Amino acid sequence: MSAQSHPEPAEGPSRRSMLRGAGAVGAVGIAAAVGVGAASGAATAATRPAADNRAAGGAEHSAGPAGAPLVVYLRDAASGELDIFSGTSHTVLRDPALVARLTHAVR
């Protein structure tokens, strides 16, 4: 397993694809919401906030507080990459083993 922080993609998942992905679990796309604590052992990817992420009045980039929802989006199982969303941050994690376990779990 290798955890790696990637540059923000030029065009991240669209709102439409995210909404669709969050609502449907399939062979290619998986969205999962779990507690931060539950995922803490999976990887140690550094959180990289998006460049245009700014929440008015607060910290400009923040992971969710402990216990806040964390959403994992698997856009393309073949890539081995997971998009992880928490608070107002987006982290890209490369973890083929975890991807394999997730795809196996929904078969």
Partner 1 sequence: MSSHREAPEISKDPVADSTDVYAFVSPDRPDTVTLIANYIPLQGPAGGPNFYSFGDDVLYEIHIDNDGDGQDNITYAFQFQTRLRDPNTFLYNTGPILSLDSPNWNSRQFYNVTRIEHGTSVMIGENLPCPPCNIGPLSTPHYATLANEAVHQIANGIKVFAGQRAEGFYVDLGSIFDLANLRPFEELHAQYGMHVFSKPADGVNATAQLNVHTIALQIPTSELLRPGRHGESDPASVIGVWTTASRQQVTLWDDRRGENVNSGPFRQVSRLGNPLFNEVLVPLGSKDLWNSLPPTDDKRFASYVAHPELAGLLPALYPGVFPNLEALVKAGTARADLEAILLTGIPSGIVKGFQNYTGPEQADMLRLNTAIKPTEHPNALGVIGGDLAGFPNGRRVFDDVVTIELRAIAGVTVPLVDKSYRPDAAAALVTDGLTANSVPGGYLSHFPYLGVPHSGFSTPS
Q: Which is nearer to partner 1, 45 or 70 (CB)?
A: 70
Give whichever of 90 and 94 is closer to partner 1, judged by the CB atom: 90
Q: Which is nearer to partner 1, 52 or 78 (CB)?
A: 52
Cβ neighbours around 3 below 10 Å, total: 15
Contacting residues toward partner 1, per CB under 8 A: 12-16, 18-19, 22-23, 31, 33, 49-50, 52-57, 60-61, 64, 68-71, 73, 85-90
Q: How many CA atoms lie within 13 A of 66 on its CB side?
A: 2
Minimum gap (Å) between residue 51 Cβ and partner 1: 9
CB of 50 vs partner 1, minimal distance in Å: 4
Of 2, 13, 8, 29, the closest CA to residue 94 belongs to: 2
Partner residues linked to 82 by β-bridges = 93
Please name the amino acid found at residue 2. S
